[in-house]
């Protein structure tokens, strides 16, 4: 996933603000596309987390199932 690929870059950036020389042969919109891939990736990840959170919430709200979880663990 593109998101995974750029995550280290993002972390690196926050720690260190560096710039590299630009060269030709690279579409000038590449940075914007990668940025939006990242935004899309984060939005997707948040969506997945939300879904799982809802599942967990539902799971615990149905009290009879608590035991099942404990036995599985």
Partner 1 sequence: MINSVRPELGSFRDPRGRIFYIGDRVFRSIAATAIEDFEFVLGTGLLDRLSASGKAITTAPVAPEIGQKFGADAVYVVEHSRLPFISYPYEWPFAALKAAALLHLDVQLEALEADISLSDASAYNVQFVGACPVFIDILSFRKYREGEIWAGHHQFCEQFLAPLLLQSRLGVSYNHWYRGSPEGISIADLRRLLPWTAKLSLNVLVHIVLQSSLQSSALSKNENKSSLAAAKLPRSSYRHMLEKMRAWIATLEPAGTKRTVWREYADNHTYSDDEVSAKKEFIARFAASVKPAIVWDMGCNTGDYSDVALKNGAELCIGFDADHGALDLAYSRARSESLNFLPLYLDGANPTPNQGWNESERKSLAARADADGLIALAFVHHIAIGRNVPLANVVNWLMALAPQGVIEFVPKRDPMVRNLLALREDIFPDYNEDAFLAAVSARAEIVETRSVTRSGRLLVRYRKA
- Geometric angle at alpha carbon 42, from 30 and 50, rounded to 5°: 160
Alpha helices in 1-73 (DSSP H): 2-15, 30-61, 66-72
In the complex, least distance from residue 57 CB atom to partner 1, rounded to whole angstroms: 22
Using the minimum distance from each CB to partner 1, give the nearer residue, 10 or 52. Answer: 10
Question: Which residues here bind partner 1, judged by CB under 8 A?
Answer: 2, 5-6, 9-10, 13-14, 17-23, 26-40, 43-44, 47
Beta carbon nearer to partner 1, 19 or 61? 19
Phi–psi pair at 72, nearest 5 degrees? -65, -40
């Amino acid at each position: 996933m593109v998101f995974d690929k750029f995550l280290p870059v993002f972390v690196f950036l926050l720690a260190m603000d560096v710039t590299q020389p630009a060269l030709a042969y690279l579409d000038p919109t590449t940075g914007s596309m990668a940025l939006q891939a990242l935004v899309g990736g984060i939005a997707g990840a948040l969506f997945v987390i939300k879904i799982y959170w809802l599942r967990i919430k539902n799971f615990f709200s149905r009290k009879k199932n608590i035991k099942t979880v404990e036995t599985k663990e």
